[in-house]
Structure 1
Amino acid sequence: MRERQRGENGMDVTRKPTRDLTCKVLALAFTLALTTACPGDDDDDDGNGPLGDPVTLSGTVTYDFVPAVYSPSTRRGTLEFNQAQKRPVRNAVVQVRQGTRVLVDGTTDQEGRYTLTYRPSGSGALTVVALAKTTQPEIQIEDNTDNNAIWALGGDITTTVTTKDLHATHGWAGTSYTASRRIAAPFAILDSMYTASRAFMDVRPVNFPLLKVNWSPNNVPQSGSKPQGRIGTSHFAFAENEIYVLGRDGVDTDEFDAHVIVHEWGHYFEANLSRADSPGGPHSSGDILDPRLAFGEGYGNALASILLPEPIYVDTMWSGSTLAAFGFDAESEPASTDDPKKGAFSEMSVFRLLYDLYDSGTNESHDRVSYDLGILYDVLVGPQKSTPALTTIGSFINGLNAQPGVSTADVYRLLAHYNIGSISSDFGDGDTPLRAIYTHVPGIPYTTEVPLVGGLDYNKREQNQYYVFTGTGRNMTLSASHASEDVGIEVFGQGRSLAESDINYTGTETVSIATQADARYVVVVYGFKETTGNYSPFPTLSITSQ
């Protein structure tokens, strides 16, 4: 049995408490050293004296945004610190504190401005604090290596101060960061996710659930203990419903890689408002992926390019002592193609296809469509979420074609450019390769050989086969087996994963589910054979009903 990674997290762990952490603040060097308290908490400050006169405090909260740039022609990129921009911290919680007590709180507007009126009491020191936390929607950036404290920016004030601006600096010193001045990072992450959320909220009424994002300068691309910063990579952790972002100076820092941030936010969107059946795991351009993974990763890249909006996707990292980058252009392929095997199993094809569905495409003969974000949202939260098939480009396109105002002929023209057939069902009818991954089960009981091919990762097309069967209204047992190779089995129905087994290195994996009569289900058989070539013999799938 090999460890499978759902999404990109590689570690499904128990979800941690979230809302009880709202009032914890990690003070930043160069600003404040605060002990935390929530409104109404008891403390030892001199706060029981008479209330002073009301004081109105105003100001602006800003942060340094550093553009991540990449040239598809030269294949080079970096973070352009010399082009850093001062941007507003929007919709962020701002508090006036006396000692450890919160006297008043409010939020910044779209220009980062705030106005708070408070009444001091006692002799405790006064501070104003901006949290890396928004309220509509509720997003908060925490330090997973410091008890999940929320990042903050603050400054001292007195009752005679009526204006106080706060600014978070990027801290770059030419070849590395100055730790005490590296304050912008959590606010940059917050703003990218706020941009993504508001884009959908501007076109549809959306209630996003609380999103916790974990960033720390200790977060490194190593697997292990997340409280110690070993997060593997920037990822959305499905089991926790949280996002983790890399931050180690000199290794990989993703806070200014807005596409990476919004890509992971896109997986949060899938998990909470739409649906993702992706098996996760390693992937790169040119791979022939399981179509669920191809859709999930292509969708994440496309969503980032659409929402930011910026068609060139950039991811920076250190290469030795040099800050470098890789990326790709949503508008067009490079001369030396990054998509040599176009189709429903290519994340690059899905990426550019989804982007083309949104952009104007006025200079492209194959692209005559331009559908607004609201239509794409309707597909994601509607037919894509409820499909009886699995979440692939097939289910998305079939759902899109059902939307008012969508030209099926123009969509098919666009599909043909990416070597995808004229999809007419959630199960990929119209595209022969996609339809071939699904096998219809004619009746129960059922036994068949599963034609898997080894020498590839478990999340590639040749290591996966889907079987569609109809429920009997009784309990059903499904088994996948091979005498000498490792195989797994997962059953989907009612828009979710119902059961999975991947316990043994060889032998039989078995699950049992209760079924609804006449409802459709999909079972996925997947393998881990490391040597190249067909399984010999093929694994066996058995489905029985009690």
Structure 2
Amino acid sequence: MLRIQNLILFLLLSASMSCSNKKSPPVNQAPRSTPLCQQGPAPPSYCDTIKTYTGNVTTVSGTATYKPREIINGILSGEVTTPLPIRYAEIEVTDSNGNVAQCGETDANGNFSLQLPMDSQTYTISIRSRANNNHYKAQVFDAPERKNLYSLSTQVTTTTSNITGITLTASATGNILSGAFNILDQVLKANDFLRTQVGACPFSGCQQFTVAPNIDIYWEKGFNPATYFDPNPSSPASFYLMGYSCLFISGGNGTSPSTGDPNNEDTDHFDNSIILHEYGHFLEDVYSKSDSPGGSHGGNRIIDPRLAWGEGWGNFFQAAVRNSPDYIDTFGNTDGTNYGYIFNIPLEDVSTFGCSSSPSKPGCDLPTNNGEGNFREFAITRTLWDLFDDATETGDNVNASFPDIWATLTSSTGFLDPLTAFRSIGLLHERQPALTGSTPDDWSSVQTLHKQNINRTQFAQYVTGGSCVNYTLNSKGYSFFIDGIDDPNDTGSIDTANLLMNADFYHYKHSGGGLTIELSYQTDPSDPDETPSEPDMDLYLIRETDALSSPFKVSENYIDGNINTSETESISISNLDPGNYLIVVIIYTGVNDSGGTIGNTPNGLRFPAGSQTYYNILANGVTLCPSSL
């Protein structure tokens, strides 16, 4: 009998705990377009031509600043006391007819000095939410369908040779103009961080960082970008669109800018952790290679290692740029009545975070078994942080290893190796020693501390045809072995399965054409550790872009219930495209819904994980064996 499971792919853009009433957009609000950066009008040209005037001129000088809200104890509070400079941002000066009269940029302190004709005319000076220089390249727009930049503006009349002391300040209240400039400044901070760390990366094959390519960022006060995917989203979202160099930051939970309430809703324009996390995804996209399929991740359970790596990297990157071992997402602010934090997760010391009493608390994510850290988002985050930080603590005697990480991410024999696929932190551990010089940093103490598997044997082990008898049972040779566990958190779906203990994953390269994958397995009836019971094992075939919960092909037959006989699962495809595939062997621990008893499992009860079991995988009749690329 064929067992059928519902397999659902979740695309989780952001998590939110704040609540608000859903409202429909005004009737005169035009429907929003698909959020692809290429759609909508072309952005205005960058103002970079500095004009020289002869005769009488007026020199106009001043300072552009912004006042973000500051986060105190995880709470988004009032504006900072001392304004921050708007650094290296575009300046456009126009005359009363809208013609461009001068261009420029602010400096590192937000200062500017511009020359205009001394002709008693009125000019508008606009500091724009954009930069295109050797420091950083980014544009903060309102929406893809409009592509309006934000401007901090003032007017001057050129009646004297010098106009000085102009101070422009973007506020965190009212139109929240400082939100746009805070987002912009986080991009500069990220670029400065990378120049400091790997501007002169010491390893061969490591990409020397100068300045990142341009990124388009969209943000509007009050507006929830999740509206692009759901006309009535339940919670706000900030997200990066892979392949488009396009980032969206939540301005509230409104389905239009006018319906949001930033003082009482989840916003991210002052949540630097969130902005930098998403920018980390952009860097991974343009400098490295990501295989993350997306999906649900709450920082409290075992998940697909591809997803765990992508989110763990983003979590780490924001902390490294901020030089602060935490990850914070706020909602509301102290000007409202509904405020607090969605999460405030420590990356260094979790002793006061309540993980001992509540190990499934989001952000704890503490592994218990060796190798489990590769399957947990925050175990990966803390691994990377401990490799980077200067602290020396029990189990962590490594520091300043960011160049090692960057070299592995950006090298053609690291994450950019065209032969590899299904990338995870296991690939980072595996390739780092060979890519970082004759005396690479020894990561072993941190790997042990966070229960990291130092290669890909537990996820995406490469297999090819061969002869590899590692186990013998009833005079038959087997290549692989599994001994599952009964996990109380496993409800029978792959989303809740213990992917470390109850599943094995193999990277298989198919040259094209017909393919038959066969799983043959046999339980050891003399298991000395427990009363022998037969696991119900299934076979999945996953394409590179598939989530584990959305396999391309499956074989899910019930076992015959006889521990003394071998079992088989088989997938056949008549014409399969060449490429990389993930073969998944997984123990089914869901409910027996066959209508009768199978083995020792009555109808309506869950199957046990079973005893130690040996198995072979065959591709077109050829036994597959572990190998290396």
TM range (shorter): 0.7 to 0.9
* Corresponding position of 1:466: 505
Letter in structure 2 aligned against 1:167: T
Letter in structure 2 aligned against 1:287: R
Task: For 1:109-128, list aligned pairs within 5 A.
Answer: 109-119=107-117, 125-128=122-125
Confirm whether residue 339 of structure 1 aligns to residue 369 of structure 2: no
1:467 Cα deviation (Å)?
Answer: 2.7
In structure 1, C-alpha distance between the alignment counterparts of 2:170 and 2:35, rounded to whole Å: 33
The answer on whether the counterparts of 2:365 and 2:376 sit within 8 Å (CA) in structure 1 is yes
The CA RMSD over aligned residues, in Å, is 4.6
Task: For 1:152-163, list aligned pairs within 5 A.
Answer: 152-160=151-159, 162-163=163-164
In structure 1, C-alpha distance between the alignment counterparts of 2:585 and 2:223, rounded to whole Å: 32
Normalization by structure 2: what TM-score? 0.65
* CA deviation map 1:490-517 (0-9, x unaligned): 434xxx99xx9878999999783345xx
Confirm whether residue 58 of structure 1 aligns to residue 61 of structure 2: yes
* Corresponding position of 1:265: 279
* CA deviation map 1:289-324 (0-9, x unaligned): 111111111111111111122222211014993210
Cα 1:360–1:206 shift into 2, 3 Å: same
Confirm whether residue 330 of structure 1 aligns to residue 347 of structure 2: yes
Q: Secondary structure at the match of 1:295?
A: helix
1:389 Cα deviation (Å)?
Answer: 4.0
Confirm whether residue 373 of structure 1 aligns to residue 416 of structure 2: no
* Corresponding position of 1:357: 387
The answer on whether the counterparts of 2:396 and 2:446 sit within 8 Å (CA) in structure 1 is yes
Q: Secondary structure at the match of 1:191?
A: helix
Task: For 1:140-539, list aligned pairs within 5 A.
Answer: 140-144=139-143, 147-160=146-159, 162-163=163-164, 164-171=166-173, 179-180=174-175, 182-202=176-196, 203=199, 204-220=208-224, 222-224=226-228, 233-248=237-252, 249=262, 250-318=264-332, 321-325=337-341, 326-335=343-352, 336-337=354-355, 338-342=364-368, 343-362=373-392, 364-382=393-411, 383-386=414-417, 388-404=420-436, 410-421=442-453, 423=454, 425=455, 427-428=456-457, 434-435=458-459, 438=461, 440-442=463-465, 455-456=492-493, 458=495, 462=499, 466-472=505-511, 474-475=512-513, 490-492=542-544, 512-514=576-578, 521-523=580-582
1:406 Cα deviation (Å)?
Answer: 8.2
The unaligned stretches of length 5 or more in structure 2 are 1-5, 16-32, 200-207, 253-261, 356-363, 468-479, 485-489, 520-537, 557-570, 592-605, 610-616, 622-629
Cα 1:20–1:322 shift into 2, 3 Å: closer
Letter in structure 2 aligned against 1:381: T
Cα 1:189–1:271 shift into 2, 3 Å: same
* CA deviation map 1:376-426 (0-9, x unaligned): 2222111123261422111112222224368668411111111224x1x4x
Cα 1:294–1:96 shift into 2, 3 Å: same
Q: Secondary structure at the match of 1:21?
A: coil
* CA deviation map 1:209-259 (0-9, x unaligned): 220111111322754458999995111112533111111212111111111
Q: Secondary structure at the match of 1:415?
A: helix
Cα 1:460–1:402 shift into 2, 3 Å: farther
In structure 2, C-alpha distance between the alignment counterparts of 1:509 and 1:266, rounded to whole Å: 40
The answer on whether the counterparts of 1:218 and 1:229 sit within 8 Å (CA) in structure 2 is no
Q: Secondary structure at the match of 1:67?
A: strand
* Corresponding position of 2:566: none
* Corresponding position of 2:88: 91
In structure 2, C-alpha distance between the alignment counterparts of 1:215 and 1:464, rounded to whole Å: 41
Which of 1 and 2 has greater Rg? 2
Normalization by structure 1: what TM-score? 0.74
* Corresponding position of 1:74: none
Structure with the largest fraction of helix: 1
Letter in structure 2 aligned against 1:268: F
* Corresponding position of 1:22: 43
In structure 2, C-alpha distance between the alignment counterparts of 1:103 and 1:17, rounded to whole Å: 29
In structure 1, C-alpha distance between the alignment counterparts of 2:607 and 2:462, rounded to whole Å: 18
Cα 1:345–1:503 shift into 2, 3 Å: closer
The unaligned stretches of length 5 or more in structure 1 are 25-36, 41-49, 71-76, 172-178, 429-433, 516-520
